[in-house]
Structure 1
Amino acid sequence: MTDHAPTALRTHLCGQLRPEHIGQTVTVCGWVGRRREHGEHLAFIDLRDHTGLLQCVVDGAHDLRSEYVLRITGTVRPRPEGTVNAALATGEVEVGDCTVEILSEAEPPPFPLDDRAADVDETVRLRYRYVDIRRDAMQRNLRTRAQVNGAIRRAMDAQGFVEVETPMLIASTPEGARDFVVPSRHRPGTFYALPQSPQLFKQLCMVGGIDRYYQIARCFRDEDLRADRQFEFTQLDAEMSFASQDDVLQAITTAVSAASEAVTGRRVVDVPRITWHEAMGRFGSDKPDVRFGMELIELTDVFAETGFNAFKAPSIKGIRLEGGSEATSRSRLDDLTDQAKRWGAKGLVWMRVEQGDDGATTLSSPIAKFLSEAELAGIVERTGAQVGDLLFLVADEWLATCHVLGLLRLELGRPPVDEGGLQFLWVVDFPLFESIDAATGRPVPAHHPFTMPHDEDLHLLDDSDAEALLQVRSQAYDLVLNGWELGSGSVRIHRPDVQQRIFGLLGISDEEAQAKFGFLLDAFRYGAPPHAGFAFGIDRLVALLVGEENIREVIAFPKTQSGTDPLTKAPTAIDDDQLDELGLRLLPPPAS
C-alpha cells in the first residue's frame, strides 16, 4: 500500500497497519463499520476508511454507533492467538489501550454498507449516494477510474499529445443526438449548446498547428439512457495531424494498454482488426463480443435450388447452440421466435439435432419435411452439428439476417461481463452511408459528414446508382471491448473537392453548409493538414475493467435510467424571475 503523509488528525490510515507497526502508538480516523461487544466493558470496533478495516479494542464503547466518525489513538499489538483474520490485510494486528474522540455522530445508514447493498433499490442508493460511495465496491470503482485517467494522461503525454481544453458553451451542431441547450441572458432568444463532443474544435486545433491534441472531455447528449449511456459522459478525445488510420489506432491502443495495465497489471500487446463486413457476417454485429464462439454460418448456397419458399431469400445464415437441444423447451423456442420477429425477422427456424434409428444424424424441425435430403445433409455438414445441438436459421436480406442472428447469438451465448477476460477489437472500413432515404433518394451518412472515404472508392461517389454509394467504405474505425463499443474515430476530409461532393450527395447546399459548419469550413481555407482522430468512453472502459454491467457503478453521481437525480431532485423547475431574466415562457402542460 502506498504510504500517505500524516495529517493533523491522524498518523496512519486504517488499512496500513501491519505486524511491523507493533508497539507503535498510532492515531487513526474513520467510520464505525461494526461494533461487537466483548464482556461488560470492552468492545471491538471495526474502524473503516478508504484503505480498509482496522480492529480497535475500546473500553466503554456503548455510545459508539454504526457510521460514527471517530479518531482513535492507541498502541498496535498482535491479535491474540486464534483470532487472526486472514481475510483482512490488517488481520494480524489490532489497536488497544484506545482513547476515542467522536468527531461526528451519525444517524443509522439508510441501507447496509456491506454486500447486502447490492439488493438495495438503485434509486435509494442514488438518493444517498454520499453513503453509497463509502462501500468497498464504489471506493474501488472510483479509485480505479482515477488510475485509468492518470494512465491515459501519462500515455498521451509520452506520445507528444498536448492537452487542450475546448469550450463547454458552443453553438448547436448536428451530431446525431439532441443537444442540451442553455439560454443566453445577454442575448434573449438565443441559446448555447453543451458539446456532444469536441469534434469541430479539435479539428480547428489541427488547423492551428497543435499537431497532436487530446482531452479527457465531458460531453452531453440528450438521448434515451441505458446501461452504457448517460446524459453526461467522459471520453478520451484525440486528434493527430499528418497521420493515417494506422497512426491513430497505434496511439489509442497505447493509451488503452496503459489503462489496462494500471488496473490489471497486463498490457494489451496487440489488438486484432476486422472489417465491418466481416464483423457483421461472422458475428452479426459491428461491435462483436469475441469472448465466445457461436459464429454465424453461411448457408445461402445450400438452398440455391430450394423449393421451400421461405428460404428463397438473398441470404440464409444459421447459428449452432452446442448441447442446446435438451436444455431448450418448446415454450422457450416459441419465445425466441417471437423475439426474433420483434428484432425484425420474418421468422426463425429451429432444428434439433438427433440420432436416427439407423444411427445417422437427423434434424427435427417443423419445417424439415419441406426440405430435401441434400439440403438437410448440407445443413448438418456446414454447421458441424452434433447430436444434442440446437440450430437456428434466418432467411432475409443479408444485413437483416446478420442483425437478427447477431442479437440471438448474444441472447443465447454471451457470458457475464466479468468472465472471458478483456477482448479488444478494432472494427475498420465501415460503410460511408448506412442506407438510402426512401423519401429523398439521398444516402444517409453512417458517421458525421467529415469522414473521409477510402481513396479507391472515391469514384463511386459519382455513380448515379444508389446501391453503388452503399459500397463506399469510409476510413472510420471503432474500438470494441467484450461487445461494447468503446469509441469511434475516422480520418477527416481535408480536401474541399471531396467535402463538396459529400455535401452534394447529402443534399446540403453551400448556404446550409456555411450556416451549420461555417467556422470550420472557413478555417480550412487557411491551410488544413490531413488529420484523423478518435474518442472513446472512459465510463465504459472503467466499467469493463472492474467487471460492472452498468456504467452508473463507476460514476460518482449518475442519473437514473429515467434521467433524474434522486439526490438533488434534478431536473427541477426554475422560478418566474429566472424565466423573465432569460426572456423565456413555458408552454402549458399537456392535457392529461
Structure 2
Amino acid sequence: MGEALNGLKRSLMCGEPRENNVGQKVTLMGWVQRNRKLGGLQFIDLRDRTGIMQIVFGEEINAESFEKAKAVRPEYCIAVTGEIVKRQSPNENMPTGMVELMCESIKVLSESETPPIYIKEDLDAAENIRLKYRYLDLRRPDMQRIFMIRSKAAMAVRNYLNDNGFLEVETPILTKSTPEGARDYLVPSRNYPGMFYALPQSPQIFKQLLMVSGFDRYFQIAKCFRDEDLRANRQPEFTQIDLEMSFVEQDDVMAMNEGLVAHVFKEVLGHEIKLPIRRMPFKEAMEKYGSDKPDLRFGMEITDITEAVKDMDFVVFKSAIENGGSVRALCLKGGADLGRKQLDKLVDFVKTYKAKGLAWIQLKEEGNKSSIAKFLTDEVTENIVKTMGAENGDAILIVSDKNSVVFQSLGALRLELAKQFDLIKDKSEFNFCWITEFPLFEYDEEEGRYFAAHHPFTSPMDEDLEMLDTNPGAVRSKAYDLVLNGEELGGGSIRIHDSSLQTRMFKALGFTEESAQERFGFLIDAFKFGPPPHGGLAFGLDRMAMFLAGTDNIKDVVAFPKNQNAYCYLSEAPNVVDQKQLDELGIDKKDKSE
C-alpha cells in the first residue's frame, strides 16, 4: 500500500544537490533506479527528471528506515528525508556525485510491478512495446532530455515572437474540408446528420483571415492533421509553429524567420547560426542536387554532360536528348575501386527511382573501364572527364531520361553514396539554406490538370504573371522553404491578396467560379473587404525538435505517437464505438463481408 504525503513537501529535485547543500536537511521524491546492499549499508539511487541522487540507509542512521529500504524495489515511488553529506567515494561522472543523502525517514508513496521495459538510457526494445508502455518509456532519462529540449524550444519561439510584436491566436480544430492535397480526417456532426467537419491540415485560411482582421502579426503552436501514409518523420497529427505577417514582402518574412531559428538554436543548444542564410533558387537546387531540400554538408554536385555526349552513337542517350531530357552525372571520388557487384547494386538503386539504368566510367591508371565502353570514343571520354572535373581513381555515374527522372534518381543516389562512403564528415554540422522561386503549379498527368504546388493562395512572381493563363507550368511562386541538412524545416509564401489575381489562379487550377466559392467561399468573400498584402511561414516543431535533440525519428519527440499505420498501442486507437454513438450520428456501419 502507498503512503500519503501528509503535508510532506519536496525541498529539492534529485539532480540538484551539490556541495553547497552539505549540512542541509532536505526531502527528495522520485523513483528508485536501483537498490543495493554494501556492507552494513543500503544504497538507493533515486531518480526524477533532473537526475539521480544516492540515498544511504544504515542501522545507525535510522533503524526503521534501514529495514524499510530493504524491501524497496526498482520503480517504487518514494519520498526520503535526511541530511546532505559529502560522499566518501565521490563519483565525478554524476552531477550529484560529490554528495549523498543520509536517510532519516522514507515513505513508500506507491509500489511498482516489474516494468516490461528497462528504465535506462539507449533502450534497445521493440517499438510496439515502447509505444504500449510509453509512460514508462518516457521515464527514461534520454527521453526526458528530449522533451525538456522540445519544451525549451517552444518557449524560445514564444518569447522571440512576443518580443517581435506577434499575437498568439488559436484557430479552429473543427473546420471545413477543402480537399486539395493530403486526405482530411473527417468528424461526423450529430447536429447536422450526414455532414462532416474536417480536422485542419494547417491553419492556412484562418491565419489569412486574421490578417484581414487587422491583427498584423499572428502566431500559434498549432496541431495539424493529415491522413497520409507515414514514414520516420511523419505522424498523422503534428505540430506547426505557424505565423503570418501583414504589409510585408518575401525578404521581410524570411528575415524574421531566420532570426527566429537563430534564436531557438542559440537558446536551446548555444549554437550560433550565421545570418543571413544562403538562398538558392529551386531550379539551381534541382540541377545541382536533384532535390528541393538539398543536403549541403558535402559536395558531389550533379553535372549536365548532355553537350559532351550529344554526338555519341548510343540510343539511350540519344532518345533522352531528343525527347527533351538530358544526360547528367555524379563524380564519386575513389570510385574506380568499386567492384562489379557494388556497381550493380547502384544500378538497381536508381531503378527504384524510375531511372532505366545507370551508366558508369571508372578512371583507372591501367585504363578506363565502363559499362558503355563500346560506345565511347577517346574524344567523348575526354569531354566527359573534362566536364565532370574527374581524375584517375574516380568513377562517373550517369543517368539519362526526362529531367524529372534524372534529378530524382541522381539526387537519391547522391545521398546514398554519402551514406555508403561516409562523405558527411561533421555529423554535428547545421547547414541551412533557403530554397526560393518554386514552381507555382505541378501537373498531374493522370488527372490532366495543374495542382497548386504549395496551396491555391500562393502569389506568383510578378515577372511571371503574364504566363499564368498561357503557360502556367513555367510560372514561379513567391514561396520559400528553409532546409536544414537535407530536410525541410519549414516553408511559406507571400499570399495573393488581390481578388482578380486569385480568380485567375483558381481558373488555372481548373476551378469553376462555383467550385471555388464552394470550397473557399469564406476566404473569397473576406477578400472583398480590403485585405492587406501578407505572407507567412510554418515550421514543423516536431522536426525542429528532432534536430535539436539529435534524433532522426519523429516518434522520439512526440509524447504519445502512433506507429507507421497510425495506430496507438497505448490507447488502442482507433477502436470501435458503441452502436448508440453511431446511431446519434446517423452512421450506418458497413459490414466487412459486403
Give the shorter-chain TM-score range: over 0.9
CA–CA distance in structure 1, aligned partners of residues 96 and 428 of structure 2: 32
- Provide, for residues 122-161 of structure 1, a one-character-per-residue CA deviation record: whole Å limited to 9, x for no partner: 1101111111111111101111111111000111111111
Tell me whether 1:287 sits opposite 2:293 in the alignment: yes
CA distance in 2 between partners of 1:476 and 1:368 (Å): 44
Quote the residue 2:47 is aligned against: 48
- Residue 266 (structure 1) aligned to one of 245, 264, 271: 271
Taking the aligned partners of 2:371 and 2:310, their CA distance within structure 1 comes to 21
Q: Mark the runs of 5 or more structure 1 residues left unpaired by the alignment.
A: 1-6, 357-361
Seen in structure 2, the aligned counterparts of structure 1 residues 420 and 349 have a Cα distance that, compared at 3 Å, is: farther
1:530 equivalent in alignment to 2:533 = yes
Match for residue 61 of structure 2? none
SS at match of 1:419: coil
Find the aligned partners of 1:322 and 1:407 in 2 and give their Cα distance. Answer: 17
Task: Trace 1:434-583 onto structure 2 (pairs within 5 A).
Answer: 434-435=442-443, 437=445, 440=448, 442-463=449-470, 468-583=471-586
C-alpha contact 2:80 2:103 (8 A) present in aligned 1:
no
Partner of 1:106: 112
- Report the CA distance between 1:78 and its aligned residue: 1.3
3-state SS in 2 of match to 1:248 = helix
Segment of structure 1 superposing worse, 254-263 or 206-215: 254-263
User: Secondary structure of 1:15's match?
Assistant: coil
Of 305, 326, 330 in structure 2, the residue corresponding to residue 319 of structure 1 is: 330
Deviation of 1:333 after TM superposition, in Å, equals 2.1
Residues in 1 aligned to 2:15 and 2:314: alpha-carbon distance in whole angstroms: 69
What 5-or-longer segments of structure 2 have no aligned partner?
A: 1-6, 59-65
- On the 8 A contact 2:469/2:508 being kept in 1, the answer is no
Q: Counterpart in 2 of 1:408? A: 413
1:244 aligns with 2:255: no
SS for the counterpart of 2:465 is helix
Q: Match for residue 433 of structure 1?
A: 441
Structure 2 partner of 1:157: 162
Where does residue 275 of structure 1 map in the other structure?
Answer: 281
- 1:137 alignment partner, SS class: helix
TM-score (norm 2): 0.93
Whole-angstrom CA distance in 1 between matches of 2:391 and 2:267: 43
Q: Is the CA contact 1:418–1:547 (under 8 Å) kept in the aligned structure 2?
A: no
Q: Distance in 1 between matches of 2:307 and 2:91?
A: 65
User: For residue 432 of structure 2, what is the aligned residue in structure 1?
Assistant: 424
The superposition leaves residues 368-397 of structure 1 with CA deviations (integer Å, 9 ceiling, x where unpaired) of: 221111121222222232333332111112
User: Which amino acid in the other structure matches residue 54 of structure 1?
Assistant: M
Instruction: Give 1:359's aligned residue.
Output: none
Q: Which residue of 2 aligns with 1:4?
A: none
What secondary structure, in the 3-state scheme, does the structure 1 residue paired with 2:171 have?
A: coil
Where 2:147 maps in the other structure, the secondary structure is: helix
CA–CA distance in structure 2, aligned partners of residues 132 and 159 of structure 1: 38
SS in 1 for 2:535: strand
Alignment partner of 2:92: what SS?
A: coil
* Alpha-carbon RMSD: 1.7
CA distance in 2, matches of 1:504, 1:74: 76
State the distance in 2 between where 1:26 and 1:325 align.
Answer: 67
Question: Aligned partners of 2:297 and 2:571: how far apart in 1?
Answer: 40
The match for 2:365 is 355
Q: Which amino acid aligns with 1:180?
A: Y
Equivalent residue letter for 2:534? H
SS at match of 1:36: strand
Write the letter of the residue equivalent to 1:330.
R
Inter-partner Cα distance in structure 2 for 1:510 and 1:461: 17
Structure 2: which amino acid aligns with 1:17?
P
**TM-score when normalising by structure 1:** 0.93
CA deviation after TM superposition for structure 1 residue 298, in Å: 2.0
1:334 deviation in Å? 1.7
- After TM superposition, which residue ranges in structure 1, 4 or more long, deviate above 6 angstroms? 415-418
Instruction: Tell me the secondary structure at the aligned position of residue 28 of structure 2.
Output: strand
Report the counterpart of residue 224 of structure 1 in structure 2: 229
Q: How many Å apart are 1:436 and its aligned residue?
A: 5.6
Q: Which amino acid aligns with 1:565?
A: C
Tell me the SS of whatever aligns to 2:173: coil
SS of 1:381's equivalent in the other structure is helix
Deviation string 1:489-513 (CA, Å, 9 cap, x unpaired) is 1111111221121221222111111
The AA in structure 2 aligned to 1:66 is P
The residue aligned with 1:302 is 308
Query: Percent same amino acid among aligned pairs?
Result: 48
| Distance in 2 of aligned mates of 1:105 and 1:541 | 38
Alignment-mate amino acid for residue 58 of structure 1: F
Q: Which secondary structure state, in structure 1, belongs to the residue aligned with residue 346 of structure 2?
A: helix
